[in-house]
Amino acid sequence: MRIVRAAAACVAYMVGALTLLVGLLYAIGPGASRTIEHSRELEQSFKTASKYITSFKEKNGRMPTEQEFDAWAKAFPSKPYDSPNGMWLKVSSFPDEAIKQFGDPPKESFLLVYWRGEWEEYYASWANRTSLEFDESKYYALGSKYADGAVLVVLAVLALVGGRKMWPNPSF
């Protein structure tokens, strides 16, 4: 029984230590600022791509095909165009999520889609809006990096105290 208690206490200590580290990094780290900075870059990219599509349509009387858009996108040396998944153009069959967020698209609408690595971001031509989020509080479970960090620190302390209480020889 002593071995099981010692093993459980060691696990609690490890969980507590790791949670404490993550909580402190969460509270004093840079937070969502890099994500928001990337969102600003992506917003500019959406605007540039939208201008290209609009001017292409005015010049040619039609929307560019996916291949034409891809060829145009490859001309740009930096992200987000050259990322592994890149930005792509949809002129039909819009995702339900985009329709839910921006409403039903009229004819001759387009949607720019960018895979962010965890979720897709959209620019809807018919709404002239993006799905990008610039409010830092939206990136935290409790609305603030300090609140999230504080909860993690409290959980870490509880795990460390629990590990101490489980240790078979309390005088150790």
CB atoms within 10 A of CB 144: 15
What is the mean pLDDT of the segment spanning 71-77?
75
**Contact, 121 vs 42, CB < 8 A?**
yes
Contacts for 138 with CB less than 8 Å, ≥ 6 apart: none
Positions of E strands within 23-157: 87-90, 111-115, 120-124, 129-130
Tell me whether the omega of the peptide bond preceding residue 80 falls within 30 degrees of 0, making it cis: yes
Given a cut of 70, is residue 74 above it in pLDDT? yes
Q: Which of 87, 79, 73, 78 minimizes the C-alpha distance to 123?
A: 87
Model pLDDT for residues 114-157, shown as the tens digit of each residue? 887 788 899 999 999 999 988 888 877 888 888 888 888 888 88
Q: What is the pLDDT of residue 60?
A: 94
pLDDT at residue 27, rounded to an integer: 76
- CB distance 123 to 130 below 8 Å: yes
Confidence of residue 77 (pLDDT cuts 50, 70, 90): low
Q: Please report how the helices 2-28 and 145-166 are oriented relative to each other, as an axis angle in degrees rounded to 10.
A: 160
* 104 bridge partner residues: none
CA distance 2 to 169: 9
Which of residues 85 and 33 earns the better pLDDT score? 33
The residue among 130, 140, 135 whose CA lies nearest residue 101 is 130
Residues 156-166, mean pLDDT to the nearest whole number: 87
Quickly count: other Cβ atoms within 10 Å of residue 62's Cβ: 11
Q: State residue 55's pLDDT score.
A: 93
How is residue 82 annotated by DSSP?
Answer: T
- Compute the distance between CA of residue 9 and CA of residue 5 in angstroms, rounded to an integer: 6
pTM for this structure? 0.69
**What pLDDT shows up at residue 83?**
46
Cβ contact 105:80 at 8 Å:
no
| Tens of pLDDT, residues 8-50 | 888 888 988 998 888 888 778 777 788 888 888 889 889 988 9
Question: Residue 109 to residues 40, 45, 90: CA-CA distances in angstroms?
Answer: 23, 18, 9
Which is higher by pLDDT, 140 or 61?
Answer: 61
